[in-house]
Amino acid sequence: MAKKNSVLQYTRVKPMTNFWISVLFIFLALLCFLPALLVVIVSFSSEASVRIKGYSYIPTEWSVAAYQYLARQTGYIGRAFLNSIGVTIVGTLLGLITTSTMGYALSRPNYRLRKFFTWYIFIPMLFSGGLVASYVVNAHVLGLKDTYWALILPICCSSFYCIIMRPFFQTTVPDAIIESAKIDGARQIRIFLQIVLPISLPAIATIGLFLTFAYWNDWMMAKYYLSGNSQDLYPLQYVLISLEENITFLTRNRDMMTAGTASQVPSETVRMAMVVISVVPIACSYPFFQKYFVSGLTIGAVKG
C-alpha cells in the first residue's frame, strides 16, 4: 500500500501544472483551427472586402459569389466529384486487399519465399524505376491511358504499407490461433478473413485512412495519364487546379479583357471556396477511422 502511494505521489500532476498544460493544448488547438476558420470566412466574403481588408475574420461584406461561380460549373465539378468518390472507394478497397494479403503472407514464418518477396518490395521503395519507366509500363504495356484504372492502379499498392503490415501481423496475430485454426481444418483464406482481419482492424483502418487521403488529394495521375479528350474522367482535385489556373490567367490579364468581365470572376474567394469543397468530404470521413487510428499506430510497437 505504501509503495502504491509513493508511485501515485510521483505520477500525480499538480493542479497548477495541469492548468498550464491545458492552456498549452488549447493554444495548439487554436493554431490548427483558426486557419481553417479563416478559409471558410474568406470563402463567404465578397471580393471587394478581400481587396480592401485582405484576409480577415470580420469582412466588410458577406457574399456567396464564390460558391455561385462554382455552382455554374456544376456539370463539370459534379462529374469530377463523383469520379473522385468512385476512385477513392475502389482504390482504397483494392489497396487494402493487396497490402493486407501481401503483409500477411510475408509475416508467416513457414512461407518459403518470404525473404525473396520482402526484398522484392523493399528495394523499389528505396530505388524507384523513375517516372518515364512507370509511364511506359502503365500507358503502353498495361494500356491504362485514358481509363479509370490509370487513376487507381499506379498507387494502389505501396511497398511502405506492406512493410508496415508485415511486423504488425507478426506481433499482433498469435501463432497459436493460426495453428489451432489449421488443426480444425480451416484453409488459409478462411483464417485470413475470419480470424486475422478482425484482429487487425486498427492497422487496416490506419492504412485505409492513408489510402483515402492519397486518392482524394491525387491529381498527378490525371495529369500524366488522361488526355484532353477524357474530361469525363477528371477527378475533383485536377478540375479545381484547372479552374484555379484559369482564374489566375484571367486575373493577370484584366487589362486585356472587356469591361466588367474580370470583375465577374472572383479570384481570392473562389480559391478558398475550392479548398472548402475539397477538404470537407475527406474531413467527414476521418471520424469513422479515428477510434482505430491511434491504436493502429501504436499497437505492436511494444512486444510483451
pLDDT, tens digit, 9 for 90 and up, residues 231-264: 888 888 888 888 777 767 666 666 555 545 445 5
Residue 75 has pLDDT above 90, yes or no: no
Q: What is the pLDDT of residue 302?
A: 41
Residue 34 has what pLDDT?
Answer: 87
Q: What is the dotted CATH code of the domain comprising 65-298?
A: 1.10.3720.10
Dig out the grid coordinates for 204 from the structure: 487496416
What is the band of 63 on the pLDDT scale with cuts at 50, 70, 90? confident
Q: How far apart are CA 263 and CA 162, in angstroms?
A: 51
Model pTM?
0.77
Mean pLDDT of the chain: 80
Residues 51 and 4: their CA atoms lie apart, in Å, by 64
pLDDT tens figures, 111-163: 888 888 888 888 888 877 778 888 888 888 888 888 889 999 988 888 888 88
Contact in structure between 159 and 121 (CB atoms under 8 Å) = yes
Mean pLDDT: which of 10-19, 80-89, 188-197 is highest? 80-89
Summarize the confidence of residues 24-34 as an average pLDDT. Answer: 88
Provide the grid cell at 176: 497459436
Whether the predicted pLDDT of 1 surpasses 80 = no
Q: What is the pLDDT of residue 292?
A: 64
